[in-house]
Structure 1
């Protein structure tokens, strides 16, 4: 009987150990699944205010049409605020900040080239309802390399050369 009791105890302990191991494995799998979901959420950009970014960007573009350094600074600061609220847009918000900190219109326009590429990508990847947005291109901008910008209207109003070549450029794409 003593031997049978020992076997029963050993079998019971083994069964309990297996049950505990299975539970731990389930909990580990569950924890890994939760961690993977959190990692996806943390790395995927969360676009929440694309419409606000577009509105602020268009206001900035309009200030470039006036060649108003102070107006550009104010509009760039507003755009920076909108961009800062969107996950994944930290670098773009930094470029907007640099535009606001730049002392002259030429430096601001050089940074606007970089900013425009990022905002165009953001708008293309965003899902929001708005009137058509146009991706415009000037082949003369950036020392002849060309430069893009967004516009709310189809007629060309070039923010890179508003004084001498305001109508230089073409619509390359329409985003709905």
Structure 2
């Protein structure tokens, strides 16, 4: 009987350990929400809001350590967020969003950054992908001029 109880307890600890590993990382979740704010501001053609959102993303990325995220990816996120925040116009903000999105897609594929489904979307005209909280296409590369251009390429659960 003792043997079964011990086996049962080890099983529970193993399940709890696996569950703990699957939990969303709060720092990465905040980084993802900052990214979504940048994406949404670009989609609405809002230069000022994009600058502010990119500044917040930069602040979040700068407060993280390499335990949460690989240093190369963290540096790339900081670099692209800084470029976006300092750009002189919306076109100058959209160009570095390609690399920012590429890195964030990698982060999302390797880490649990949201409790909800994340949609990887793609615009063939821009030849660029981005992440979204929803299936509906709201294109950050073209904004109002081609807001619905694109499709869902994959889902990250």
TM-score surpassing 0.5?
A: yes
1:99-127 CA deviation, whole Å, 9 max, x = no partner? Answer: 00000100100010111001110111113
Count how many residue pairs are aligned between Structure 1 and Structure 2: 126
> Is 1:167 equivalent to 2:145 in the alignment?
no
1:135-161 CA deviation, whole Å, 9 max, x = no partner? Answer: 0000111xxxx0000000101111111
C-alpha separation in 1, matches of 2:53 and 2:142: 19
**Higher relative contact order by CA 8 Å / sep ≥ 6: 1 or 2?**
2
C-alpha distance 67-95 of structure 1, shift in aligned 2 (>3 A): same
Q: CA deviation at 1:48?
A: 6.2
| Contiguous gaps of at least 5 residues in structure 1 | 1-46
Runs of 4+ in 1 over 6 A off after TM superposition: none
Match of 1:55 in 2: 33
1:147 is aligned, of 128, 131, 148, to 128
| TM-score, structure 2 as length reference | 0.76
| CA RMSD of superposed structures (Å) | 1.4
> Is 1:138 equivalent to 2:123 in the alignment?
yes
C-alpha distance 132-110 of structure 1, shift in aligned 2 (>3 A): same
C-alpha separation in 1, matches of 2:50 and 2:113: 26
> Is 1:109 equivalent to 2:90 in the alignment?
no
Larger Rg: 1
| Contiguous gaps of at least 5 residues in structure 2 | 1-24
